[in-house]
Structure formats: structure tokens, C-alpha cells
């Protein structure tokens, strides 16, 4: 496998589930970047704000508060992720319901689990 093939595969990893959804005539939710460019079947995306992570890391380093050996979590509450554009197929009423839910998550009123529970 050539380097260019490896680079292309590693860069397109987050597109895999979305492309799979489209090929199966299903809807999908993009990850990492706003994947609405893939088509109307992408309902929205969970977009990583990497600039927030880099800034936070640099700030901790400069102020000598960077601890090693652990994880930092970036989420809606600290602006580490956000929702991308919504597909026109997502009803306006549903979009309007999501805005207050996102606000409640940011305020800590709704706790989002960090791991998935097994299906019942």
C-alpha cells in the first residue's frame, strides 16, 4: 500500500459510516467535520472544534497547569463540539426542539453519558 493510499484512507475514516448509510439508503449523522456536503441524507454532524482543544492545551502549558497521563474532555458544555448544518429533510419542529436541549446540556441540566449502555 502506498503512502498516498494510507493518507487517503486515514483522512476519510470519519466519512465511512456516512457513505455506508447513503449506500444503504439510510440517513446518517456526520462526525468530526460538517459532512452536510455529502448530501441531504446527512441529518447533521457532530463537529469537533479542534481550535478549542489546541487553545486549552496551549493555555494549560503556558500557565504550567498541564497534567500528563490523563484525558481532557471537550463537549457541548465547553464548546469542544457543536452541531453542524441540518439537512432540509430534518423537520423545523425537530430543529426547534434540539436548541433548548443543547442549551440544557451546556448548562449541565442534562447529563450525557460518556459511554454507551448495551442495548436492552
Q: How confident is the model at residue 65 (pLDDT cuts 50, 70, 90)?
A: very high
**pLDDT attached to residue 15:** 66
> Cα–Cα distance between 30 and 87 in angstroms, integer?
11
Angstrom distances, CA of residue 8 to CA of 4, 16, 22, 27, 28: 6, 12, 20, 24, 21
Helix (H, G, I), strand (E, B) or coil at 83: strand
Instruction: Considering only the C-alpha atoms of the chain, give the largest distance between any 2 of them, rounded to a whole number of Å.
Output: 50
More confident: 2 or 61: 61
Would you say residue 81 has pLDDT above 80?
Answer: yes
Q: How confident is the model at residue 80 (pLDDT cuts 50, 70, 90)?
A: very high
Mean pLDDT, the chain, rounded, equals: 84
16-62 confidence digits (pLDDT tens): 767 677 777 888 999 999 999 999 999 999 999 999 999 999 999 99
Sort 11 into a burial class: Cβ within 10 Å, 0-12 / 13-18 / 19+. exposed
Full-model pTM: 0.70
**pLDDT attached to residue 118:** 79
Q: How confident is the model at residue 103 (pLDDT cuts 50, 70, 90)?
A: very high
DSSP secondary structure letter of residue 67: P
Amino acid at each position: 500500500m502506498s503512502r498516498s493510499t494510507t493518507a487517503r484512507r486515514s483522512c476519510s475514516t470519519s466519512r465511512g459510516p456516512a457513505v455506508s448509510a447513503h449506500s444503504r439508503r439510510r440517513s446518517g449523522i456526520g462526525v468530526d467535520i460538517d459532512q452536510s456536503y455529502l448530501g441531504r441524507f446527512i441529518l447533521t454532524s457532530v463537529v469537533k472544534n479542534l481550535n478549542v482543544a489546541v487553545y486549552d492545551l496551549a493555555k494549560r502549558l503556558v500557565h504550567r497547569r498541564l497534567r500528563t497521563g490523563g484525558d481532557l474532555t471537550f463537549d457541548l458544555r465547553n464548546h469542544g463540539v457543536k452541531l453542524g448544518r441540518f439537512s432540509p429533510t430534518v423537520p423545523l419542529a425537530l430543529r426547534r426542539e434540539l436548541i433548548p436541549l443543547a442549551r440544557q446540556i451546556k448548562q449541565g441540566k442534562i447529563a450525557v453519558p460518556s459511554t454507551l449502555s448495551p442495548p436492552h
